[in-house]
Structure 1
Amino acid sequence: MSEQYDVIVAGAGPAGAQCARDLATRGYDVLVLETENEDEFPKTSNKSTAGTFPSMITSFGVPDDVVMNFTDKVVLESPNNHYTRHHPGAVLEFADFKRWLVEDGREKGAEYRFDARVTAPILEDGEIVGVRYNGDEEVRAEITIDATGPSAPLAKALDVSDLRRENHAIGIEYELTGVDLDHPEYGDLTDAMMLRLDHDLAPGGYSWIFHTGDDEAKVGICYIQNESHRENARSDFSVDDYLQYWMDTDPRFANAERKEGVQHRGSAHIQMPGSMSTDRFMAIGDTVPTVDPVWGEGIHKGMKSARAAAITVEACLDKGMTDTSAEQMSLYDRLWHRDVAPNHRRRLLMTELLYLAPNERYDRFMEDLHSLDEATLRKLNNGNPLAVANLLHVDDIGLLREFVRDRVAFDLDGFLPKPVNKQRSGASAAFEFK
């Protein structure tokens, strides 16, 4: 007979491991199945830049010893300008952070099985009652949670996943020593997290330098497969080529060296989620997806989605009165939109408009940011339309026309036969108005 648990979590990333921590703390019998080998964990899943903010550290009790550097400002760069804002943050050692989540979850009572690749759901009467892993191994639970990220073997099988290839963000990062963090031609990046908008380096995306202490930093680039990428990309450049080009041309890296064997590759989907739950099932973290479209930060939102899932489990299995119907499980969807990412749609729209802009507009954008007061900046960060309007100029009409044209093309797609011939941008395809 198959083993029985209250909850099975597939995947030991930040979302899955945090969900297991919360559930074990609440006294639930929870099993986490993780594909990787425990001795090397996390080797293949060590993909995050791991820049986050104090609210995550405090909310989830993250210890200081998994933090590489506490930062005190965020710097935004364009090709010829920059903007600096005081904003505390933290750059985590992602591997240490993931191992801590597992260790702490185990101490609280969660069971982990490594070398356990989840392959398919076990279905009875159309509902998931457990999972198969490593071929023919089976385990069952009242509720199953997919936290495997974009692979989403359970969510896809249950028609919950709606991840789209055209919204795919692809990134690469090195850890460097010998970085000139206070070069006279640029803003001071000491104890800073910097994001750079520059289609020459990251067409349709952004690049970054996150100070990790002394003369060391995490340095990387990411682009989304969107219209701006197609218009600005070099046909013979891979993501690796763009990062190497930046290192070869930016004087801050003149004396920099890569840390041997340290390289992070990752991908994420930048879009609105569809349904995230069904009978006896939820999808969390990057399975949803959950990455913030403006900052590219996924850890905090993934952790918050884990907590929302744990709250939902408690509501469904409360005091033995089990109700795991799709209607009851949909509490998770409501919590996600209310607490995890309440402004996600607005931030997606703002990001789409941002990536459509040319490089010279990015320079002016930095100037505009200097003119905004603190209250307006906070509203801008939340995608407030009036705050965004403060950054628009008369000569942005062409940019806005392209933005609206792409939005109309997407909104009508599927309702009218081929309303336009223009191919939809990756960022445009990120929105579903439901």
Structure 2
Amino acid sequence: MSDQYDVIVAGAGPAGAQCARDLATRGYDVVVLETEAEDVFPKTSNKSTAGTFPSMITSFGVPDDVVMNFTDKVVLESPNHHYTRNHPGAVLEFADFKRWLVEAGREQGAEYRFDARVTAPIMENGEIVGVRYDGSEEVRADITIDATGPSAPLAKALGVSDLRRENHAIGIEYELTGVDLDHPDFGDLTDAMMLRLDHDLAPGGYSWIFHTGADEAKVGLCYIQNDSHRENAREGFSVDDYMDYWLDRDPRFADAERKEGIQHRGSAHIQMPDRLSTDRFMAIGDTVPSIDPVWGEGIHKGMKSARAAAITVEACLDKGMTDTSAEQMSVYDRLWHRDVAPNQRRRLLMTELLYLAGNERYDRFMEDLNGLDERTMRKLNSGNPLAIAKLLHLDDIPLLKEFVREKVAVDLDGIIPKPVNKQRSNASAAFEFE
């Protein structure tokens, strides 16, 4: 093993492993440091619902054998209604997917060091030149990339990470057999990914059922402990209690059984990133967070951020003309905002507004969606203001006033802006939490 590389990647999740794969394909010497031991990987990091779409599958050459089920529709539910949109997708076996990425990177020449917990950056003249792991072990590189997710030990030490507690979503998921996927009281969930907006089940968040084949499904819920959660929460309920509450009351689970030993717990942050890079350093995936706030899809966003980071490495280390200054590294920032998460701020605002609504408004929302044409739906999904306006009604004015008051609040002096209340952030991270 060498002590000097072109690039160090901390973390072997989808973003980190894809970045290493891209870099090794380009001929760079890259080493990946992963906390877990290889013989159990990914045991503690197997936290993703792993719902994704064809664009990710084709862009990154994901093989069919890591897909549990190809789906053909997305279903949105409210307490009493539902909306179905034909849209192809895929539910991955997340552990198999992560192991495939590691092997694909190794085939290109990437080096992996498992059981290697990154603890701190090595700093010289105010810049990161490597990392310490497992306490006293060291490795150095021209560029370091943090792909450790919310723990972000390097990004935090360098002042790049700004993950805020009030934007932290928590979730739980089981894999069930014996699920009634076509119950007469609900929409047909055969070959579907379903998201349910219902404060009774997931106050300040939502729940989901992803069909994985036969009568089996991934079933879970997620929420942020925001104002909406506090207003609708059941006293003393934990995320586990809400899961049990749903399973006990939904007739689709009357004959369902949990797969033994399979339980996924995870978290993610839903917010705009502040910084993405600095001298000799970038942060990718959920370290900065890259999750789509509308659909909650995070794998594709994370892997696109990995590809943007690999392109940036090439721009900084091209043909031996090394320039790893913050200015040159900011190529990554521009690529992130252009290609990874365009319109991210608008999509965050749209989903924050959505989570202010109550259950009755969710029912009406489903009715409105069923009245929209496909062209308007595409515009709505991209955050188009005119498309969003078609879902608003006169009796939404108090809700809009509350939303605006929180986002642009001004103190009594009328001069100093109040801090933005980030506690209204949406909890759609459940769709893809890592």
TM-score bracket for this pair, using the shorter chain length: over 0.9
- Identify the residue that residue 164 of structure 2 maps to in structure 1: 164
Look up the SS of the partner of 1:155 in the other structure. helix
Q: Which residue of 2 aligns with 1:270?
A: 270
Matched, 1:217 2:217: yes
Aligned counterpart in structure 2 of residue 427 of structure 1, from 405, 421, 424: 424
| Aligned position for 2:279 | 279
Which shows bigger deviation, 288-297 or 173-182?
A: 288-297
Deviation of 1:373 (Å): 1.1
Cα distance, 1:296 vs structure 2: 1.3
Q: Deviations over 1:298-331 (max 9, x none)?
A: 1000000000000000000000000000000000
SS at match of 1:356: coil
Give, in whole Å, the separation in 2 of the partners of 1:203 and 1:95: 29
* Alpha-carbon distance between aligned partners in 1 of 2:424 and 2:305, rounded to the nearest angstrom: 23
Q: Give the corresponding residue for 2:249.
A: 249
- Residues 12-411 of structure 1 aligned to structure 2 (within 5 Å): 12-409=12-409
Q: How far is the alpha carbon of 1:295 from its aligned partner? A: 1.2
For 2:347 and 2:238, how far apart are their aligned partners in 1?
A: 28
Deviation at 1:147, TM superposition (A): 0.2
Residues 12 and 34 in structure 2, CA contact (< 8 A), matched pair in contact too = yes
Rounded to whole Å, the distance in 2 between the matches of 1:337 and 1:378 is: 20
CA distance in 1, matches of 2:411, 2:201: 33
Q: C-alpha displacement at 1:225, in angstroms?
A: 2.3
CA distance 1:32–1:357, shift in 2 (3 Å): same
Instruction: Determine the C-alpha separation between the residues in 2 that align with 1:96 and 1:109.
Output: 20
In 1, Cα distance between equivalents of 2:46 and 2:295? 19
Equivalents in 2 of 1:349, 1:52: separation in Å?
A: 22
> Structure 1, residues 272-291: CA drift from partner, whole Å, max 9, x if none?
00110000000000000111
Alpha-carbon spacing, 1:112–1:428, altered in 2? closer, same or farther (3 Å): closer
In structure 2, the CA distance between the partners of 1:253 and 1:310, relative to structure 1 (3 Å rule), is same
In 2, Cα distance between the equivalents of 1:416 and 1:216?
A: 57
CA displacement at 1:215 relative to structure 2: 0.1
Across the aligned residues of Structure 1 and Structure 2, the Cα RMSD in angstroms comes to: 1.7
- CA shift at 1:219, angstroms? 0.2
1:31/1:2 CA distance change after superposition, 3 Å: closer
Secondary structure of the structure 2 residue equivalent to 1:199: coil
8 Å contact 1:406–1:428 — kept in the other structure? Answer: no
Structure 2 unaligned residues grouped into runs of 5+ = 428-434
**Which amino acid counterpart does residue 424 of structure 1 have in structure 2?**
N
Does structure 1 retain, via aligned residues, the 8 Å contact 2:224–2:425?
A: no
> Distance between the aligned counterparts of 1:429 and 1:164, measured in 2?
13
* TM-superposition CA deviations, 1:45-99 (whole Å, max 9, x none): 0000000000000000000000000000000000000000000000000000000
Cα distance, 1:297 vs structure 2: 1.1
Q: What is the percent sequence identity of the aligned residues? A: 85
Displacement of 1:419 after TM fit? Answer: 4.7
Give the drift of 1:16. 0.1
- How many Å separate the matches in 1 of 2:299 and 2:225? 22
- Per-residue deviation at 1:416? 5.4
CA deviation map 1:10-39 (0-9, x unaligned):
000000000000000000000000000100
Q: Which aligned segments of 4 or more residues in structure 1 are displaced greater than 6 angstroms?
A: none
Given the superposition, is the C-alpha separation of residues 54 and 180 from structure 1 closer, same or farther in structure 2, using an over 3 Å criterion? Answer: same
- Write the distance in 2 (CA, Å) between the matches of 1:389 and 1:227: 24
Distance change (3 Å), C-alpha of 1:321 and 1:181: same
Output the amino acid matched with 1:136.
S
Give 3-state SS (helix, strand or coil) of 1:426's partner.
helix
Counterpart amino acid of residue 125 in structure 2: D
Deviation at 1:394, TM superposition (A): 0.6
Q: Distance in 1 between matches of 2:411 and 2:301?
A: 31
Q: CA deviation at 1:417?
A: 5.6
Deviations along 1:371-427, one digit per CA (max 9) or x if unpaired, are: 111111011111111111000001111111111111113x879x956859xx93513
Post-superposition shift, 1:227? Answer: 1.6
TM (normalized to structure 1)?
A: 0.96
Secondary structure of the residue aligned to 1:71 is: strand
Once residues 425 and 315 of structure 1 are traced to their aligned partners in structure 2, the CA distance between those partners, rounded to angstroms, is 35
* Residue aligned with 2:296, SS: coil
Measured in 2, the distance between the counterparts of 1:429 and 1:219 equals: 19
How far apart are the structure 2 equivalents of 1:23 and 1:412?
49
TM-score by length of 2: 0.96
1:332-369, Cα deviation, whole Å (9 max, x unpaired): 01000000010111110000000000000000000100
Per the alignment, do residues 56 and 429 of structure 1 end up closer, same or farther by CA in structure 2, a change over 3 Å counting? closer
Instruction: Please say if residues 227 and 425 of structure 1, whose CA atoms lie closer than 8 Å, have aligned partners that are also in contact.
Output: no
Q: How many residues end up aligned between the 2 structures?
A: 426
SS at match of 1:119: strand
Structure showing greater relative contact order (alpha-carbon pairs closer than 8 Å, 6 or more residues apart): 2
Which whole-Å deviations, capped at 9, do the CAs of 1:196-230 have from their partners, x for residues lacking one? 00000000111000000000000000001222111
Which piece of structure 1 moves more, 397-406 or 31-40?
397-406
Q: Secondary structure at the match of 2:423?
A: coil
Write the deviation string for residues 107-165 of structure 1: whole angstroms up to 9, x where unpaired.
01000000000000000000000000001111000000000000000000000000000
> Residue type of the partner of 1:105?
G
What whole-Å deviation, never above 9, does each CA across 1:162-199 have from its counterpart, x for those lacking one? 00000011100000000000000000000000000000
2:424 maps to a residue whose letter is A
